[in-house]
Chains A and B, each alone.
Chain A
């Protein structure tokens, strides 16, 4: 591995990979390589130490048991905390997003999160399952968020974070706001391969991770057709 490579770590695929979460790693690597940026991807299992020197970390979704186990191991390991202190980028979806907060509920008990974002999660009155869409924080300069959510949690944001988006379809954090971000950390309830429908968000993460202010445009015809189709679907 060259030190020039963009280093992407997928954290604990053995625990947090329920809904095609691998997709985010594949999409980021594909989009970076298409710009001639060499990429080194690493999958770190929960019985391995987490390297703290990568540029971009990914956290996926998962069931209650694995989610609680992942929180324990990440807190004991400390690698992600050191990486965040160094300024690494973190992109987290669903259960992984909840993990970034101060606490979350799993198997009926409150569990300590990683305390990297000022938020906490509890149980909602019903499971949120379906299309999720919203207008993104204008400071991020992104088109509307498009995704699919499937979670029982509700997430409450503290003053230390900003919502990623305002919900136009679906539930997100609480039916009003969706996801959260601060600095180079970004989380969303748009689960699984969230970046498949949000190529501009993928590029934002790549710009954060590489420090490049612009990236050469790619032919996103199919992603745009998909976004358009899902927009029509949620309007009807």
Chain B
């Protein structure tokens, strides 16, 4: 990779000089970071660029038609699917590796150079700021549930932050999950909303109405507040069987290479966002079917005759989805509680691990003992292994499912890259 080439390729003739320099330095730093083996460059470049020009993200986003994707779960996958759908229209800049704060957005846009489109995954906490700076055409709001509670805003506070952000940006079109009362309440602040229904396994963070504090009542997929008028909006896009019904009532089969019903829901969201850019769902579904893995998630790797599949599960809602995706095969669970995971492992007791009964279960990770106590109470027999290679050696050739939380997932991904 030529650094001077990077410097010479100025992104956009309309950008102010300071932004051009910042963008160029940003790309160079990212390249240096990758070349030095210090990271994938998805954060450092943006960090340096924003130091030089605090408005760099706004300058880089100007002139692009932008879609944002935010929520507790499914952001990275939905971003990748949306970007795939829009690629039929032209080049798309995207933060495909889940670097979802403004530094990551800045790096992604600087690295891509000028593109007509951008699809950005946004950390829930940064939605207001990224709305300010990127002026998106559409923003997809997926779901809100408990996640890293020792650090993250509690769910009701997050919904309020989103609502305030949308009040401040009346022009943006919102694509929102009608099945999540917290998301619905936040999205109702927007003037223009497309509602999708992708189903929801996890309900334990939305029993209290965010509008009035009344009790949310649920019946067969529908929900309403028992006290105030807040209720489930009629969805425009609906998951039905292995496909999606669009607003005209036409059903489109979605053949994904990604496992689980949750990803059909993510596909429905991507189709609804892409429609805001003029992409017809019939055209987009073919592109979604070409997506194979997302930042290592769902990736299958062969090692010593074991076909290893990696599933990321960060919080109670996503563990339920992971059990649905995993095959009936030996399963390794790995749990850490480092900063990016949240330091608190209490959530382990919000997950019912009983679907794993009858499978051979191995456990590892920094906080394997927390998991051991949980599994004992849950009546799930397990074996503790100290390392990932020990787990691989312990199971016979064939499928090994690996379900891990964030840094545990990254650790195992790094181990697998080293042997491939």
Contact = CB atoms under 8 A, between A and B. Distances in A.
A5 interface: no
A191 B215 contact: no
Interface string B338-357: 00000111111110000000
A202 to B, nearest CB: 10
Nearest to B348: A20
B146 A222 contact: no
Nearest to A227: B369
Contacts of B213: 65, 69
B251 interface: no
Contacts of B12: none
Contact of B373 (A15, A18, A46, A223): A223
B161 to A, nearest CB: 14
Contacts of B346: 19-20, 23, 148, 191-193
B349 A26 contact: yes
A20 B208 contact: no
A66 interface: yes
Contacts of B215: 14, 45-47
A179 B343 CA distance: 22
A63 B136 CA distance: 32
Contacts of B378: 26
Contacts of B149: 18-19, 150
A82 B414 CA distance: 57
Given A18-B149, A148-B150, A150-B149, A226 B373 contact: yes
A15 B372 contact: no
Interface residues of B, number: 30
A105 to B, nearest CB: 15
B392 interface: no
Interface in A13-38: 13-15, 17-23, 26-27, 30
Contacts of A130: 150, 343
B417 interface: no
A66 B155 CA distance: 12
A66 B208 CA distance: 7
A129 interface: yes
B370 A196 contact: yes
A197 B215 CA distance: 33
A225 interface: yes
Nearest to B209: A65
A14 B343 contact: no
B209 to A, nearest CB: 9
A165 B216 CA distance: 38
Interface string B225-263: 010000000000000000000000000000000000000
A56 to B, nearest CB: 16
B207 interface: yes
B344 A192 contact: yes
A4 interface: no
A34 B343 CA distance: 31
Contacts of B155: 63
Interface string A126-140: 000110000000000
B376 interface: yes
A27 B344 contact: no
A223 B370 CA distance: 8
Contacts of B347: 19-20, 192
A226 B370 contact: yes
B36 interface: no
B372 A226 contact: yes
B150 A150 contact: yes
Given A23-B377, A222-B369, A15 B349 contact: no
Contacts of B154: 18, 63
B374 to A, nearest CB: 7
A13 B203 CA distance: 12
Interface in B123-159: 146, 149-151, 154-157
B204 interface: yes
A97 to B, nearest CB: 15
Given A69-B213, A150-B149, A150-B150, A229 B348 contact: no
Nearest to B375: A222
A129 B373 contact: no
A21 B204 CA distance: 12
A229 B208 contact: no
A226 B156 CA distance: 32
A23, A45, A46, A191 pick with most chain B CB within 10 angstroms: A23
The 5 tightest CB contacts between A and B, nearest first, are: A23-B349, A192-B346, A20-B349, A20-B346, A226-B369
10 contacts: A14-B208, A14-B215, A20-B349, A22-B350, A69-B208, A191-B346, A193-B348, A196-B373, A196-B377, A225-B372
Interface of A: 13-15, 17-23, 26-27, 30, 45-47, 63, 65-66, 69, 129-130, 148, 150, 191-193, 196-197, 222-223, 225-226, 229
Interface of B: 146, 149-151, 154-157, 204, 207-208, 213, 215, 226, 343-350, 369-370, 372-374, 376-378
